[in-house]
Amino acid sequence: MASPDFSLSVADCPLIQIEGWDGTLGQFEKSLSALLGTKLPDSVGETVRQKGLLVIRVAPRRLWLALDDGLEAPSLAVDPDLGCSVSLGEGRERFRMAGAHIAPVLSKCITVDWRAPAAAPGRAVLTSLHHVPVLFLRTGDAACELIVPRSFSRSLSDWIADAAG
Amino acid sequence: MNSNHKRLSIGGRIDREQPVEFTFDGRSLIGYRGDTLASALLANGVTLVGRSFKYHRPRGIFSAGPEEPNALVTLATAGRRQPNLPATTLELEDGLVAESQNRWPSLAFDVQSINGLLAPFLSAGFYYKTFMGPTRRAWMFYEHFIRKAAGLGRAGSGHDPDRYDISHAFADVAIWGGGPAGLSAACAAATAGARVALIEQDFLLGGQLLAEQSDSAAAAWLRQAEAELESSETVTLMKRTTAFGIYDGNVIGLVEQRDPSNPQLAGEARQTFTMLRARSIVLATGAIERPMVFSNNDRPGVMLASAARSYLNRFAVLPGKKIIVATSNDGAWRAAFDLADAGAEVIVADVRAAPSTALAAEAGRLGVVVRAATRIVDLNGGHAVRRATLNGPDGQPEAACDLVCVSGGWSPTVHLTSHLGVKPQYRDDIGGFVPGAFPADRFGAGSMMGTYSTAGAIEDGHRAGIAAAWFCGKSMPVPAPSKLDLGETATALLREAPSIGRGKAFVDFQMDVTTGDIELAHREGYESVEHLKRYTTLGMGTDQGKTSNFAALASMAALRNATIPETGATTFRPPYTPVAIGALAGCAIGHHFKPIRRTPMHDWHMANGAEMIEVGLWMRPFFYRQSGRDSNEAYIAEMRSVRQAAGLMDISTLGKIDVQGPDAAIFLDRIYANGFAKLPVGRARYGVMLRDDGIVFDDGTTTRLAENRFFMTTSTAKAADVLSRLEFLLDTAWPDLRVAVTSVSDEWAAMSVAGPKSRAILSAAFPVLDVSDAAFAHMGLLESEWQGRALRILRLSYSGERAYEIYVGATAGEQLWSRLLEAGRPFDLKPYGVEALGALRVEKGHVAGPEIDGRTTLDDLGLGRMAGKRTGFVGDVLRRRPAFQAPDRQRLVGLECIEEGKRLRGGAILFLPGEKPYGHGRGRVTSVTFSPERGHYVGLALLAGDVASEGSEVVAVYPMKAETVRARIASPVFLDPQGERLHG
């Protein structure tokens, strides 16, 4: 859906999850940082962008690597003694939302304070939409994304469209 | 139309340029924008507005706010019907249609007012004493009639035409109450730099200031504060918004009414339920005036003194011309003076011996007659009060009146502070309960804290606003607040005792609880306030006893010869005021009632004749319409297709969990009752998990993809529970294990090809793969790629036939599904739905949800040998407790229907032949199907072990359809017990 004040589009979401083991987390992060060629986000909710890749810390030991559309997934050989990785790109979809009305629309959808520092551009928040776990990504002053499970995608996009209507 | 003959020609906060038409009990009336329904009714001279709950006594408008116990109406406009709404809180809008309640055939003539004559029999505890006999079941007979007679308004049963919304809001400081304290707090907190949400249930800000004259200093102060807040970018003014509860984490439940005067909002939600999360809260909820207790104190025309002043000054309504103001404190004198100033004849009956000279002097100036040490003992009048009997130094003179204003002091509104466990504390100096100690993030201000002067409330609010902002780290300098001194004299309060004449003296108007009821409860031993509440129903109406609680406590304290704090207070619980269910549901109705999960093949199913069924949140094909004329015919045809050729089933709904890490095998060994550590790479194994108490939790297969990596599947229903359980165990029980568990349920589209021709179909679909038995054995794994996406094929069977589970990336699911159908066409491959799937597994004797129902153990299900003598897994210890070994414990058996033309039904209760079919029987049928293989109905059942011998008979009784059928106990495996078809 698209209007001058609010737009919503749905796309695939290439995504890789990487997790390190407790006890060897420092080593894991060092190794991963070298593999990706960038520093990692320090705390949960922080993100780091590296070329077409967004590194999101979704839990203390868990990171998501979200790839821009059309980008090939990097080859990540994680040392099994330090951590593991699993692809989640087939099972998630990305809702892109933008517009002047985005804050009031989102207030009917998720429990995220649009004006809080924790939801500032570049920040990520794990939350829920209609009881479904989703990842909120603030991408701009009046823009954000939600990464949602594919099986719920249509139901959730209907919900947002109705909230915007 | 009526004439607004009680409306004053000037004054008030109504807009006389905007008349509003409404109806009450069919009468068309006119009010003005800015009126409530109550003020408009009073302006039109309507004094009788309702009937009481039990005695059907006539009742009028008693208050001017949400504490209203009497004037409850039903809104019945354009298909909507909302009962029990206080007329005092309803903003008047064009076309409003209100009806009085609890009367028949009319409000003026109500047949059930005969209950008043039966009053001696209808005392507290009447139901408990009267309707319990003569037999134990007697209540079941009476209940129908009592329920019909009980209640107030009736909700509608039609579709609610309105829309409701739910939203989330955030603030640094939430301020409850838009009176002087709340406004002052909001100004201070905003100036300090905090983001403020100011919540006010009224459609105007101001609280008690609205009862001041509209050209007064109070009005000027209010205008200034309102302008300051409206101009602030960090303040959200939430008018028409009731905070109904406070919950953990400073989550405040709000219901906001749509502004009826704003035509731009016409299509918006009628009510919005908002969950406001605040870092700190200022409670400035004010205080509620108490009534006085005397005979017939419920007559229409009896009104709180503050309400009369509010109707006069805010709504320009003079509710009476001959007015008696009965009071025990100074506050009500201000109402007397204003009413007299507006032209009414006023008598003040003050129970105190010597009211202040200043008050007496002002009374003299305005012509108000003062009777000190005088109380009302009785009132006369039916549908409107006509005469009062006074008791004082002058004897018992009678005085004519058309309005009686009462004020027994004030009760701070501590309801909301109580919601999170802040106990009210009694303050003797004000004769009321105030909140106890607040936690660090909550603050109180104004009359809720016992500060009854306006000047004090403003100071209080200012301090609380600064403190609340400070708590949030906002500490910009805040100048002193604008002063406002209304010259209120100190309230000298005397706690007055009930004065009883000939009629009933009401304590709780809404629930018709009288002083006599409280005395009766005391005599019968219900002395605790909690018992008193439940025995008499005191405070259990929609008003939660806002005007009655204190008087009741005081009465009980006097009867017990105890102090009020010794007697205690009841617990206030949310909601503070009634909340419409529609508001709580918000937009989660219709197709948004719950989120729907769709498999990657959903659109194909919809386009190809699938009859869908909800399985949890998933939509799954129940059966395909081309398979038969109805579900019974279709599922049997689909079963035959699987048994004789091949079927294709969408199993994407299975829970799928990626388990990785150096300790993954150890982890699985601990969570499954059977071992996984020795499972070779490339092999799958059926596993069963137990709960801590030894009961079976879930089952599924787990495949070893690599040394440190497993692919677990769970039942559709338990997918989320299993993942949550695994995470919980890793976080709490075994944090030392290096294991990661991740749901990949949405990652994979999954489909099962089952039947004797399934291997041939697989060969045709994937010509490059070797699917021969030698290369791909039962319980084996084959990994590859398809269309550039990962492909996993597991050779597993749920139906008893040779079968393969095929997993592919979700985005390619529908493509692969179509490919398989195309490749399978020469082999007569047909899709089948969950009904056939369930039937196939019953024939094969596989357990599923109906058997793994949270009550059965491994041994009950015949799976005990899977665990063998293993130890160290979850549920290991408690599965061996003696109760689980009892010989009469229900165990899994098969049942075959042996009566021609009859059928078994799931849920049927099992009895032995000749046994009286009563009670829980010897067991129950869990799953049934018609078996094409056997030619009759077969089923799985849980049957007491001491009677479950194969070959003997049981009787299955299904009371819902009054069916009884004989069945023979058999092995639960009805088909291919040797498992030859798996390899066929």
Say if residue A23's pLDDT is above 60.
yes
Where among B72, B95, B122 does a domain terminate?
B122
**Partners of residue B169 in chain A, C-beta under 8 Å:** 107
Residues B305 and B266 in one domain: no
Q: Say yes or no for a CB contact (<8 Å) between A111 and B709.
A: no
Do residues B424 and B418 lie in contact, with contact meaning Cβ atoms separated by under 8 Å? yes
Q: Which residue of B has its CA nearest to A25?
A: B738
- A111 and B CB contact within 8 Å: yes
The length of chain A is: 165
Do residues B41 and B61 lie in contact, with contact meaning Cβ atoms separated by under 8 Å? yes
- A155 and B CB contact within 8 Å: yes
Domains annotated on chain A, with CATH: 7-12+90-164 (3.30.1360.120), 15-87 (3.30.70)
Q: Where are the beta strands (DSSP E) in B355-486?
A: 369-372, 375-380, 387-391, 398-400, 403-407, 410-412, 424-427, 432-435, 442-444
Average pLDDT over residues A90-111: 97
Q: Say yes or no for a CB contact (<8 Å) between B742 and A87.
A: no
d(CA B557, CA B563) in angstroms, rounded, equals: 6
Domain of B730: which CATH number? 3.30.70.1400
**Partners of residue A79 in chain B, C-beta under 8 Å:** none
Q: Which residue of A has its CA nearest to B711?
A: A86
Residues B444 and B515 in one domain: no
Residue ranges of A 113-142 with Cβ closer than 8 A to chain B: 113, 115-116, 130-132
- CA B871 to the chain's CA centroid: 44
This prediction has a pTM of 0.92
Do residues B890 and B944 lie in contact, with contact meaning Cβ atoms separated by under 8 Å? yes
pLDDT of residue B491: 65
Residues B103 and B192 in one domain: no
**Partners of residue B595 in chain A, C-beta under 8 Å:** 130-132, 152, 155-156, 159
pLDDT of residue B494: 62
pLDDT of residue B784: 97
pLDDT of residue B608: 98
Residues B50 and B195 in one domain: no
Q: Of B167, B599, B740, which is closest to A151 when you measure between CB atoms?
A: B599
Residues B282 and B419 in one domain: yes
Say if residue B729's pLDDT is above 90.
yes
Do residues B822 and B669 lie in contact, with contact meaning Cβ atoms separated by under 8 Å? no
- A9 and B CB contact within 8 Å: no
Cis peptide before B134 (omega within 30 of 0): yes
Domain of B92: which CATH number? 3.10.20.440
Residue B417 inside a domain? The answer is yes
pLDDT in tens, B185-235: 999 999 999 999 999 999 999 999 999 999 999 999 999 999 999 999 999
d(CA B381, CA B384) in angstroms, rounded, equals: 5
Average pLDDT over residues B699-715: 98
Domain of B554: which CATH number? 1.10.10.1100
> Helix (H, G, I), strand (E, B), or coil: what is residue B490?
coil
pLDDT of residue B492: 56
Q: Of A22, A80, A130, which is closest to B735 when you measure between CB atoms?
A: A22
Of B131-135, B290-294, B557-561, the poorest mean pLDDT is in B131-135
Q: Of A62, A86, A150, which is closest to B660 when you measure between CB atoms?
A: A86
- B525 and A CB contact within 8 Å: no
Q: What is the mean pLDDT of chain B?
A: 94
Average pLDDT over residues B538-551: 93
Do residues B538 and B511 lie in contact, with contact meaning Cβ atoms separated by under 8 Å? yes
Residue B283 has φ and ψ, to the nearest 5°, of: -100, 115
Say if residue B154's pLDDT is above 90.
no
Residues B901 and B957 in one domain: yes
d(CA A66, CA A135) in angstroms, rounded, equals: 11
> Helix (H, G, I), strand (E, B), or coil: what is residue B185?
helix
- B134 and A CB contact within 8 Å: no
User: What type of residue is B878?
Assistant: L
Domain of B907: which CATH number? 2.40.30.110
Average pLDDT over residues B810-822: 98
**Residues facing B752 on adjacent strands:** B649, B805
pLDDT in tens, B334-350: 999 999 999 999 999 99
ipTM for this model: 0.97
Residue B862 inside a domain? The answer is no
Q: Of B167, B596, B740, which is closest to A107 when you measure between CB atoms?
A: B167
pLDDT of residue B493: 64
pLDDT in tens, B844-903: 999 999 999 999 999 999 999 999 899 999 999 999 999 999 999 999 999 999 999 999
pLDDT of residue B495: 67
pLDDT of residue B174: 98
**Partners of residue A108 in chain B, C-beta under 8 Å:** 165-168, 587
Which among B279, B711, B742 is the top mutation candidate for probing chain A, defined by the most A β-carbons within 10 Å of its own β-carbon? B742
Residues B418 and B271 in one domain: yes
Domain of B400: which CATH number? 3.50.50.60
User: H or E segment at B220?
Assistant: helix B217-230
Q: Say yes or no for a CB contact (<8 Å) between B592 and A22.
A: no
pLDDT in tens, B441-494: 999 999 999 999 999 999 999 999 999 999 999 999 999 999 999 988 766 566
d(CA A12, CA B789) in angstroms, rounded, equals: 14
Do residues B984 and B926 lie in contact, with contact meaning Cβ atoms separated by under 8 Å? no
Q: What is the mean pLDDT of chain A?
A: 95
pLDDT in tens, B645-692: 999 999 999 999 999 999 999 999 999 999 999 999 999 999 999 999
Alpha helices (H) along B265-395: 305-313, 331-341, 357-366
d(CA B58, CA B384) in angstroms, rounded, equals: 9
Residue B374 has φ and ψ, to the nearest 5°, of: -125, 140
| Structural domain count, chain B | 6
Name the minimum distance, in Å, from the CA of A54 to any CA of chain B. 20
Say if residue B2's pLDDT is above 60.
no
β pairing state of A15-20 and A7-12 = unpaired
Name the minimum distance, in Å, from the CA of A50 to any CA of chain B. 25
Q: Give residue B243's domain range.
A: 164-287+412-471
Write the DSSP symbol of residue B159: P
Residues B278 and B365 in one domain: no
Write the DSSP symbol of residue B769: S
β pairing state of B322-327 and B403-407 = parallel
Name the minimum distance, in Å, from the CA of A30 to any CA of chain B. 18
Residue B700 inside a domain? The answer is yes
B50: left (phi over 0), alpha (psi -120 to 50) or beta: beta
Residue B660 inside a domain? The answer is yes
Per-residue confidence band for A40, with pLDDT thresholds at 50, 70 and 90:
very high
Q: Say yes or no for a CB contact (<8 Å) between B168 and A163.
A: no
Residues B245 and B179 in one domain: yes
Residue B796 inside a domain? The answer is no
First-last CA distance in chain B: 88
Alpha helices (H) along B29-90: 37-43
Average pLDDT over residues B782-808: 96
Say if residue A138's pLDDT is above 60.
yes
pLDDT in tens, B133-149: 888 788 888 888 887 77
- B815 and A CB contact within 8 Å: no
Q: Say yes or no for a CB contact (<8 Å) between B169 and A107.
A: yes
Residues B296 and B322 in one domain: yes
Q: Of B595, B658, B738, which is closest to A130 when you measure between CB atoms?
A: B595
Tokens representing B158?
């039609």
**In this predicted model, which residue has the larger pLDDT, B790 or B497?**
B790
**In this predicted model, which residue has the larger pLDDT, B267 or B925?**
B925
pLDDT of residue B777: 96
- B660 and A CB contact within 8 Å: yes
Per-residue confidence band for A71, with pLDDT thresholds at 50, 70 and 90:
confident
Q: Say yes or no for a CB contact (<8 Å) between A150 and B810.
A: yes
Where among B683, B713, B743 does a domain terminate?
B743
Name the minimum distance, in Å, from the CA of B661 to any CA of chain A. 7
Distances (CA, A) of B505 to B293, B299, B431, B515, B775: 6, 10, 22, 6, 92
Do residues B432 and B450 lie in contact, with contact meaning Cβ atoms separated by under 8 Å? yes
Neighbour-count burial of B145, counting CB atoms closer than 10 A to its CB (0-12 exposed, 13-18 middle, 19+ buried): exposed
Name the minimum distance, in Å, from the CA of B152 to any CA of chain A. 34
Alpha helices (H) along B430-473: 454-471
CB-CB neighbours of B3 under 10 Å: 11
Q: Which of B403, B387, B375 has its CA nearest to residue B292?
A: B375
> Helix (H, G, I), strand (E, B), or coil: what is residue B952?
coil
Max mean pLDDT among B78-87, B351-360, B731-740 falls in: B731-740
Torsion of CA B464, B466, B467, B471, to 10 degrees: 140
- DSSP letters for chain A: -B-SS-EEEEEE--EEEEEE-TTSHHHHHHHHHHHHTSPPPSSTT-EEEETTEEEEEEETTEEEEEEPTTPPPPP----TTTEEEEE-TTSEEEEEEESTTHHHHHHTTB---TTSGGGSTT-EEEEEETTEEEEEEEEETTEEEEEEEGGGHHHHHHHHHHHH-
pLDDT of residue B946: 95
pLDDT of residue B263: 85
pLDDT in tens, B167-197: 999 999 999 999 999 999 999 999 999 999 9
Residue B554 inside a domain? The answer is yes
Tokens representing B477?
């300098």
Q: Say yes or no for a CB contact (<8 Å) between B592 and A158.
A: yes
Do residues B679 and B663 lie in contact, with contact meaning Cβ atoms separated by under 8 Å? no
d(CA B167, CA A128) in angstroms, rounded, equals: 13
Residues B433 and B391 in one domain: no
Say if residue B437's pLDDT is above 90.
yes
Say if residue B500's pLDDT is above 70.
yes
Residues B297 and B399 in one domain: yes
**Partners of residue B747 in chain A, C-beta under 8 Å:** 87-88, 90-91
